[in-house]
Amino acid sequence: MRAIDNSDINDIKNVFYNSNWRKLFIVGLVLVLVFLFKPWVQVGAGERGIVQNFGAVQDQVLNEGIHFLLPVMQTAILMDVKIQKAITDAASASSDLQDVALSVALNYHIIPDKANIVYQTIGVQFKERIIDPAIQEVMKAVSARYTAEELITKRPAVSTEMQESLTTRLLASNISVDAFSIISFSFSQTFTDAIEAKQTAEQNALKAKRDLDRIKVEAQQTIAAATAEAEALRLQKMNISPDLIELRKIEANLKAIEKWDGILPKVTGAGAIPFIGVEKVLSKK
């Protein structure tokens, strides 16, 4: 192998100092530096970029899209500002000292324009640090103002009060509440049995009341029917004349004659059995 001499070195220098090669070298160096330091950040849908200058959080919040940064000096942290869901369980007590186990679901999101403040004051673990403790405290505070029975019968009002309390509490941390719902209430077995027994008693009482109302209606109907019948008889009696009574007697005697076999009844002793009005009827014939 031939050793490199001064003439070879001069040839290399001439090639390097050639304008075309110098431009290519500069462009290549710039590309290497660009990919090495990556002076841009891409903010995706539902995200915000938190700009830091040597680690110090800036007031600037990057919206969705591509943004250029100063290499080495600036960095960007991406934060999710889409609606997120948190399901939390809590144990509390009602105003009548009944143990209550609640399970709730909360939909929330970071206020986009305040993402830098959230990152600076809370960090990215805001659910564990802010959301869950706030839900626990609100659930206990609200349930303590209702009896165990009211927590069931006034469930919409309880849910609304919890949501309003959470909205006020989390807004102070730049977190917005989108929706809140109570998934379930559960109580001790003793209280659950007592509720079931009370409901059964109320249902039985309601059935008995309905039966009593039905009996009263039937009695009123019977009385009304009897009253109407008595009134009809009264009116019929008022319309009966003496001639009609005499006619009914004659009809009765005629039926008796039709059944007579022609033999007079045998009379013994001093008494006599009268044959009612037979001679009058025969004489009329």
Q: Which residue has the higher pLDDT, 74 or 24?
A: 74
Three-class SS state of 230: helix
Q: Is the pLDDT of residue 34 over 70?
A: no
What's the rounded Cα separation, in Å, for the pair 35 and 65?
19
Look up the CATH superfamily of 84-187.
Band 7 domain (3.30.479.30)
pTM (two decimals): 0.57
With a CB cutoff of 8 Å and minimum separation 6, the contacts of 59 are 116
| Over residues 7-25, mean pLDDT | 58
Q: How confident is the model at residue 282 (pLDDT cuts 50, 70, 90)?
A: very low
Amino acid 265: pLDDT: 59
Indicate the helix (H) or strand (E) that contains 178: strand 175-187
Q: Identify which has the larger pLDDT, 200 or 283.
A: 200
Distance CA 62, CA 77 (A): 10
Residues 36-59 have pLDDT tens digits of: 667 788 999 999 999 999 889 998
Residue 284 has pLDDT above 60, yes or no: no
DSSP code of residue 280: H
**Contact in structure between 125 and 96 (CB atoms under 8 Å):** no
pLDDT of residue 19: 56
Residue 283: pLDDT over 50: no
Q: Give the pLDDT score at 163.
A: 93
Contact 86, 108 (CB under 8 A): yes
- Token pair 């005697």 is at which residue? 253
